[in-house]
């Protein structure tokens, strides 16, 4: 994977994903044992943010530090991008100073454009369309907790957003069973679903889209949710609060799932909206383990892309 980009799950092979998971496990073990491992000594990651972040920013910065490197936080508000410098020229400039770029932005096309013109690896840290680092971490976390992801009923409930899109694609790649339960009109992206279904045809994945929360939750091994109003959609918030109400992950819905069902959330959570306080604070909720695993999985990605 050296010198490649990570723009979406689609361009990763199953072997790439397995390599990321194996490396993440090794790096997590090393860190837990207090072993220092610094393959990125002297390397710098530019982190461009056009949207807010807690986990992505901190986990990438801490990850670079732990690997011996350095990370630069660059808000688009303070960059010349804001004053009209092109992504093309920004990519070329950063390539002269840094060893990698991580970018969080609105339009997915912006990350593609950055990758096209950068001479260094570009990592998608979330766009309106996808969140590949999150999806990799989510499946890594499921495997860690349940021993394997294959054969489990993984249910995503809520908005068919960037997180849902990337989960659908990784399910298609890895042959998983996934139910995406969203209100009508809020299904995952059509093109992404087409890709996910094509992948499923060869991997044996079962990807289902429904608007029935009760049927979706029945017998679930994993119940996953995300915010109802993603960054950039704030003007739709009031309308969404009404439309998404029946899709709340609450105890009543969770009771329909398997007894040992785990609750996942990419975070940030809006307690009382997509997930209740009760479910958020229940021992079944593993979202903070998920958040921690962002660090280990992204360290693996950084080592594989920027290493050597």
Catalytic residues, by residue number, are: 104, 131, 134, 226, 266, 294
Answer for which of 227, 269, 286, 291 binds ligand NVA (CB under 6 A) is: 227
Q: ∠ CA(235), CA(238), CA(240), 5° rounding?
A: 90
CB 57, CB 65: distance < 8 Å: no
Residue 54 near ligand CP by CB under 6 A: yes
Binding part of the chain for ligand NVA, among 42-50, 148-156, 224-232, 253-261 by CB under 6 A, reads: 224-232
Which 3 state secondary structure label does DSSP give 6?
Answer: strand
Give the DSSP per-residue string, 68-124.
T-EEEEEETTTSGGGGT--HHHHHHHHHHH-SEEEEE-S-HHHHHHHHHH-SS-EEE
Q: Restricting to residues 98-137, which ones interact with ligand NVA according to CB under 6 A?
A: 126
CA dihedral 9, 11, 14, 20 (to 10 degrees): -60
Q: Restricting to residues 261-280, which ones interact with ligand CP according to CB under 6 A?
A: 266-268
Q: Identify which of 77, 78, 51, 73 has the alpha carbon closest to the alpha carbon of residue 62.
A: 73
Q: Identify which of 198, 145, 191, 210 has the alpha carbon closest to the alpha carbon of residue 171.
A: 198
Residue 162: name its binding partner from ligand CP, ligand NVA, none (Cβ under 5 to 8 Å by kind).
ligand NVA
Residue 134 near ligand CP by CB under 6 A: yes
Residue 161 near ligand NVA by CB under 6 A: yes
Least gap, CB of 292 to ligand CP (angstroms): 12
Q: Please give the size of the binding site for ligand CP, defined by CB under 6 A.
A: 9
Least gap, CB of 7 to ligand CP (angstroms): 16
Least gap, CB of 15 to ligand NVA (angstroms): 27
Chain residues binding ligand CP by CB under 6 A are 53-56, 126, 134, 266-268
């Amino acid at each position: 994977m050296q010198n490649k980009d990570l723009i979406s799950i689609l361009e990763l092979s199953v072997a790439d994903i397995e390599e990321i998971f194996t490396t993440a496990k090794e790096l997590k073990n090393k860190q837990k044992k207090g072993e220092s491992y610094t393959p990125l000594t002297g390397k710098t990651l530019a982190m461009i943010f056009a949207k807010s972040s807690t986990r992505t920013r901190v986990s990438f910065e801490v990850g670079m530090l732990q690997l011996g490197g350095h990370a630069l936080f660059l808000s688009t508000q303070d960059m010349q991008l804001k004053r009209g410098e092109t992504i093309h020229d920004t990519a070329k400039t950063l390539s002269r100073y840094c060893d990698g770029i991580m970018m969080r932005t609105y339009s997915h096309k912006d990350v593609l454009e950055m990758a096209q013109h950068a001479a260094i690896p570009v990592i998608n840290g979330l766009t309106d369309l996808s969140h590949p680092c999150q999806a990799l971490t989510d499946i890594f976390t499921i495997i860690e907790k349940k021993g394997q992801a294959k054969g489990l009923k993984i249910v995503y409930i809520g908005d068919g957003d960037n997180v849902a899109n990337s989960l659908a694609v990784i399910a298609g790649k890895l042959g998983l069973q996934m139910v995406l339960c969203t209100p009508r009109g809020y299904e995952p992206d059509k093109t992404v679903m087409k890709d996910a279904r094509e992948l499923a045809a060869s991997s044996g994945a079962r990807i289902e889209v429904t608007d029935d929360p009760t049927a979706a939750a029945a017998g679930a091994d994993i119940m996953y949710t995300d915010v109802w109003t993603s960054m950039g959609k704030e003007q739709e918030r009031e309308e969404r609060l009404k439309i998404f109400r029946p899709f709340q992950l609450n105890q009543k819905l969770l009771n329909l799932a398997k007894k040992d069902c785990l609750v996942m959330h990419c975070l940030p959570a809006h307690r009382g909206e997509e997930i209740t306080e009760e479910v958020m604070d229940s021992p079944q909720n593993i979202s903070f383990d998920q958040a921690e695993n962002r660090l280990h999985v992204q360290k693996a990605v950084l080592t594989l892309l920027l290493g050597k």
